Amino acid sequence: MLQVHNLIAGYGPLTALNDVSLSLQAGARLGVFGHNGAGKTTLLRCIMGAVRPVSGRVEVDSNDTCAATVADNVRRGIAFVPQGHNVFPNLSVEQNLRIAGLLFDPSFVSQVYELFPVLSERRQQRAGSMSGGEQQMLALGMALMTRPKWLLLDEPSTGLAPVIVRNVMRRLVDINERMGVGLIVVEQNVPATLKVVQQVVILRSGQVAFAGSAAELAGNTDLWKWF
Ligand SMILES: Nc1ncnc2c1ncn2[C@@H]1O[C@H](COP(=O)(O)OP(=O)(O)O)[C@@H](O)[C@H]1O
Ligand SMILES: [Mg+2]
């Protein structure tokens, strides 16, 4: 389970998260929406141990991840794909994957290739010469090399053409269903994300304005009222 308990966090005098709580079963798929500045990235950073909250905690399998280091959290099975294309542009696809898995099992690369045939075809290609969509696939593959139980994604569809967005979203479902990895997907593209997540949280000024099922939100014609 992943449980966020009454999280309050910010930067100096600024409060970015104000009493945020949520609860996810292992293998759940959550979408996190909200305007710019709503606190979405801060929530991911707290879960990852990259921002220390003022109060509250995040429990993953009874460890408080907010109080731990990022490195410890990665070892315990939390992976984070920050916004943008987080690959080493001058290294090959294969080198990127192996570096990401250095502290884990490098042979897992074969399973990543099974999930992403496009990466297998391009294993010797320089990562920086691939398209944005391919680099996003590589970033996902690199995160998987750390064998996560939870995968946190910060706006994975940013800058991608609609057809590529659908492809990335489908891969996320594959990762979830085939590997049992739980997903927390922060997104601006609400319609595309609602198709692949089960639960949704909408943040507004650092507070939870909506928490419920994706189906409930998708059926709501005035869902923007929570933004
Ligand atoms: N490193 C930082 N230093 C100071 N303020 C920050 C920093 N990162 C984010 N903020 C502020 O915290 C609030 C929440 O930001 P963020 O979590 O990035 O929101 P979102 O990801 O939803 O756009 C915003 O007001 C933002 O300006
Ligand atoms: Mg953000």
Dump pLDDT digits (tens) for 133-155. 999 999 999 999 999 999 999 99
So what's the pLDDT on residue 103? Answer: 87
Residue 197 lies in a domain: yes
So what's the pLDDT on residue 75? Answer: 94
CA-based nearest residue to 155, from 139, 142, 141, 144: 139
Least confident window among 16-30, 45-59, 97-111, 201-215:
97-111
36 Cβ inside 6 Å of ligand 1: yes
Q: What is the CATH number of the domain that holds 49?
A: 3.40.50.300
The residue-averaged pLDDT of 20-47 equals 98
Q: Assess whether pLDDT exceeds 90 at residue 219.
A: no
Residue 67 lies in a domain: yes
34 Cβ inside 6 Å of ligand 1: yes
Instruction: Look up the domain containing 66 and give its range.
Output: 2-84+150-221
So what's the pLDDT on residue 221? Answer: 83
Q: Assess whether pLDDT exceeds 90 at residue 223.
A: no
So what's the pLDDT on residue 183? Answer: 98
Residue 181 lies in a domain: yes
Q: How far apart are the first and last CA of the chain?
A: 27
Residue nearest to atom 4 of ligand 1 (CA): 11
Rounded to the nearest whole angstrom, what is the distance from the C-alpha of residue 208 to the centroid of ligand 1? 16
Residue range 114-135, pLDDT digits in tens: 999 999 999 999 999 999 999 9
E runs forming strands in the chain: 2-11, 14-24, 29-33, 55-60, 63-64, 78-81, 150-154, 182-186, 199-204, 207-213
Residue range 152-171, pLDDT digits in tens: 999 999 989 899 999 999 99
Residue nearest to atom 1 of ligand 1 (CA): 11
| Counted domains in the chain | 1
| Nearest ligand 1 atom to alpha carbon 42 | 17
Rounded to the nearest whole angstrom, what is the distance from the C-alpha of residue 224 to the centroid of ligand 1? 21
So what's the pLDDT on residue 106? Answer: 86
Residue 142 lies in a domain: no
Rounded to the nearest whole angstrom, what is the distance from the C-alpha of residue 107 to the centroid of ligand 2? 33
Rounded to the nearest whole angstrom, what is the distance from the C-alpha of residue 16 to the centroid of ligand 1? 6
Residue 122 lies in a domain: no
The residue-averaged pLDDT of 47-62 equals 96
Residue 133 lies in a domain: no
Residue 76 lies in a domain: yes
Q: Assess whether pLDDT exceeds 90 at residue 85.
A: no
Q: Which of 11, 44, 81 to mutate to test the pocket of ligand 1 (most atoms within 8 A of CB)?
A: 11
Rounded to the nearest whole angstrom, what is the distance from the C-alpha of residue 150 to the centroid of ligand 2? 19
Q: Assess whether pLDDT exceeds 80 at residue 13.
A: yes
